[in-house]
């Protein structure tokens, strides 16, 4: 897969001067405390998309920061325009794809997600450290923002009745159907009208992406090659994992709804649906 790197391959690249590794893990929704992995991959730096790389002026969680803010932080992290960036998290695939998508949205394509995350790395016995690294030199990273990689509620609303546009929801089927309360206070239960449930768990097997053939079959059930694909979830994080899957499958018109259900579920003027997913 073009966007995925194995633990074995990453270990063989550890001494490459162009390599920059980021831990983009997060505490799962509904859990308390700070993100504290058991170890860090050698040379890994922290990628904090909840604070340092977020629009903290926005009351919604995890909203994408400005291109200037992103570029400044990447230069401080030693990222160059010709770097190879690898992002990972402590287990499986949940939040690392958010970092991957942020790089893509900023016009940077040489970024990969570590398959299986830290869990697979530790299982293989590869080197770790007890603290995050700090870059000793500034990089020359420049952002080249791409339009519509992140979209807002109004853009989602405008496409609801467009037959060529399909929105996939990465939340659990129970949350999608309105059968389970949202982990965030004040959220209605249900889903965006005409959206399709594709829970994150449905694209994974043992914490790693399913085969490309399996992913292609899943998307082909709902969309054609020229379809506009939108992705949503609880707060714009796991939606990026579905975008990763769609990119692997060769779809080109992809957008992540940054506010996701944290916004849509709280705005009572926006319609919602409950019940079984579309088929």
| Tens of pLDDT, residues 228-276 | 999 999 999 999 999 999 999 999 999 999 999 999 999 999 999 998 6
Q: Is residue 142 part of a domain?
A: no
Domain boundary among 129, 162, 186: 129
Q: Is residue 32 part of a domain?
A: yes
Q: Is residue 136 part of a domain?
A: no
pLDDT for residue 182 is more than 70: yes
- The stretch 155-171 carries a mean pLDDT of 97
Task: Give the CATH number for residue 166.
Answer: 3.40.250.10
110 and 156 belong to one structural domain: no
pLDDT for residue 212 is more than 60: yes
170 and 206 belong to one structural domain: yes
121 and 42 belong to one structural domain: yes
Q: What is the C-alpha to C-alpha distance for residues 19 and 262, in angstroms, rounded to an integer?
A: 34
Q: Is residue 277 part of a domain?
A: no
- The stretch 158-185 carries a mean pLDDT of 94
What confidence category does residue 28 fall into, taking pLDDT thresholds of 50, 70 and 90? Answer: confident
Marked catalytic residue, from 65, 233, 245, 249: 233
78 and 192 belong to one structural domain: no
What pLDDT, on the 0 to 100 scale, is given for residue 279? 39
Q: Is residue 134 part of a domain?
A: no
β 128-129/40-41 pair status: antiparallel
What pLDDT, on the 0 to 100 scale, is given for residue 139? 98
124 and 168 belong to one structural domain: no
Q: Is residue 218 part of a domain?
A: yes
- The stretch 125-152 carries a mean pLDDT of 97
The tally of domains found in the chain comes to 2
Q: Is residue 191 part of a domain?
A: yes
Domain boundary among 129, 163, 198: 129
121 and 22 belong to one structural domain: yes
What confidence category does residue 278 fall into, taking pLDDT thresholds of 50, 70 and 90? Answer: very low
Q: Is residue 196 part of a domain?
A: yes
Annotated active-site residue 245? The verdict is no
pLDDT for residue 120 is more than 50: yes
Residue by residue, DSSP assigns 185-213 as: TT---SB-TT-EE--GGGGEETTEEPPHH
Average pLDDT, the chain: 96
Domain boundary among 72, 98, 129: 129
The CA angle 190-194-200, to the nearest 5 degrees, is 60
112 and 18 belong to one structural domain: yes
pLDDT for residue 176 is more than 50: yes
Handedness of CA 263, 267, 271, 275 (dihedral sign): positive
102 and 190 belong to one structural domain: no
Residues spanned by the domain of 67: 4-129
What pLDDT, on the 0 to 100 scale, is given for residue 56? 94
Q: Both tokens of residue 96?
A: 């690392």
pTM: 0.96
125 and 155 belong to one structural domain: no
- The stretch 75-103 carries a mean pLDDT of 97
106 and 73 belong to one structural domain: yes
pLDDT for residue 115 is more than 60: yes
């Amino acid at each position: 897969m073009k966007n995925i790197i194995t633990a074995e391959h990453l270990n063989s690249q550890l001494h490459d001067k162009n390599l920059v590794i980021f831990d983009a893990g997060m505490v799962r929704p509904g859990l308390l405390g700070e993100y504290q992995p058991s170890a860090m991959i050698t040379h890994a730096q922290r990628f904090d998309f909840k604070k340092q790389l977020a629009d903290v002026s926005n009351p919604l969680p995890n909203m994408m920061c400005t291109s200037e803010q992103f570029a400044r932080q990447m230069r401080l992290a030693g990222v160059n325009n010709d770097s190879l960036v690898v992002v990972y998290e402590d287990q499986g695939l949940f939040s690392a794809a958010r970092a991957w998508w942020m790089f893509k949205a900023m016009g940077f394509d040489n970024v990969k997600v570590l398959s299986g995350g830290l869990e697979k790395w530790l299982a293989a016995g590869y080197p770790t450290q007890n603290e995050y690294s700090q870059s000793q030199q500034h990089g020359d990273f420049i952002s080249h923002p791409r339009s519509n990689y992140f979209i807002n509620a109004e853009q989602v609303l405008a496409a609801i009745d467009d037959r060529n546009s399909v929105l996939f929801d990465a939340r659990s089927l129970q949350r999608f159907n309105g059968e389970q309360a949202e982990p965030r206070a004040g959220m209605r239960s249900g889903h965006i009208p005409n959206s399709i449930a594709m829970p994150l768990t449905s694209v994974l097997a043992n914490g790693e992406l399913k085969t490309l053939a399996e992913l292609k079959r899943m998307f082909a059930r709902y969309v054609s090659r020229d379809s506009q694909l939108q992705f949503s979830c609880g707060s714009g994080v796991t939606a990026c994992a579905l975008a990763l899957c769609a990119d692997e499958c060769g779809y080109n018109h992809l957008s992540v709804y940054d506010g996701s259900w944290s916004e849509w579920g709280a705005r009572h003027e926006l319609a919602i649906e409950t019940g079984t997913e579309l088929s």
